[in-house]
């Protein structure tokens, strides 16, 4: 059974393995974790992330958990003015404080970053094989591997790997799938939930993404002006619900 499962879903596993291989080769060049002790997520924590995280830690009254050296490569929490996301991420990720005490969280940050990178490609493949427009790929189509790799290893994903931004590549295909289910099947739940999750994770990035969603919505198929108006209203209401908590 496991062999059959892998064979049927080989495009997902091939994309995962190739992405992992690229990551390991890139990490070897520094050397970063797992080959060395450098985190794969170096960034400008002292300029942008650290002050916000420091304020959140202080407000929670757990100042003693802050390591002596901190940056984005050490604390991979959400940054910016999103206090909902900061509170949730700070509280949950302190469970992993053993990583912080042992190696300043570098291993944890590297592992989390790798997980987001690995699953972004399969997320795009899942979207391409479950589209509601009649343009879905067969999941045995080998071209999906190229599509998945082109997405997970795109210039944006690699260029922004040092920042928080690349992680949203995992959410985008699922939100788009939810949008198509809303438009073509009148099932808004997936769109609302994924957009809401995106908003909680980082509302600034989510609002920028909403601009893309609006443009993407205009590319979908409509039967006429009345159908377009009706679906636009449903789209607007669902989007409002998805971001109502922000």
| Cα atoms in the 13 Å half-sphere on the side-chain side of 81 | 2
Asked if 202 and 164 touch (Cβ cutoff 8 Å), the reply is yes
The pLDDT score that the predictor gives to residue 84 is 52
pLDDT digits (tens, 9 = 90+) for 142-181: 999 999 999 999 888 887 776 656 677 888 899 999 999 9
Mean pLDDT, to the nearest integer, of 128-133?
91
Residue 32: strand pairing partners: 38
Asked if 19 and 152 touch (Cβ cutoff 8 Å), the reply is yes
The pLDDT score that the predictor gives to residue 59 is 65
pLDDT bracket for residue 87 (50, 70, 90): low
The pLDDT score that the predictor gives to residue 83 is 52
Asked if 98 and 148 touch (Cβ cutoff 8 Å), the reply is no
| 3-state DSSP helix/strand/coil % of the chain, to nearest 5 | 70, 0, 30
Tell me if the bond preceding 34 is cis, omega within 30° of 0. Answer: yes
The answer to whether residue 2 scores a pLDDT higher than 50 is yes
Cα distances from 103 to residues 26, 46, 64, 66, 73, in angstroms, run 21, 18, 16, 12, 11
For the chain, what is the mean pLDDT? 77
The answer to whether residue 91 scores a pLDDT higher than 50 is yes
């Amino acid at each position: 059974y496991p062999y059959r499962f892998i064979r049927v879903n080989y495009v997902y596993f091939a994309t995962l393995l190739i992405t992992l291989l690229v990551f390991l080769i890139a990490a070897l060049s520094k050397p970063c974790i797992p080959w060395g002790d450098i985190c794969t997520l170096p960034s400008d924590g002292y300029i942008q992330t650290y002050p916000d995280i420091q304020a959140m830690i202080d407000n929670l009254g757990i100042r003693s958990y802050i390591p002596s050296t901190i940056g984005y490569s050490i604390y991979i929490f959400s940054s910016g003015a999103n206090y909902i996301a900061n509170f949730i991420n700070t509280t949950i990720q302190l469970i992993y404080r053993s990583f912080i005490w042992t190696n300043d969280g570098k291993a944890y940050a590297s592992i989390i970053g790798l997980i987001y990178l690995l699953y972004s490609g399969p997320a795009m493949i899942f979207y391409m094989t479950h589209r509601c427009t009649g343009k879905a790929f067969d999941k045995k189509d080998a071209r999906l591997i190229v599509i998945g790799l082109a997405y997970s290893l795109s210039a944006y994903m690699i260029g922004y790997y040092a920042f928080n931004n690349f992680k949203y590549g995992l959410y985008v295909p699922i939100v788009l799938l939810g949008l198509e289910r809303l438009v073509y099947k009148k099932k808004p739940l997936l769109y609302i939930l994924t957009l809401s999750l995106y908003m909680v994770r980082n509302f600034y990035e989510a609002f920028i993404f909403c601009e893309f969603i609006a443009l993407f919505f205009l590319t979908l198929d409509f039967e006429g002006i009345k159908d377009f108006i009706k679906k636009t209203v449903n789209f607007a209401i669902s989007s409002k619900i998805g971001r109502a908590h922000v």
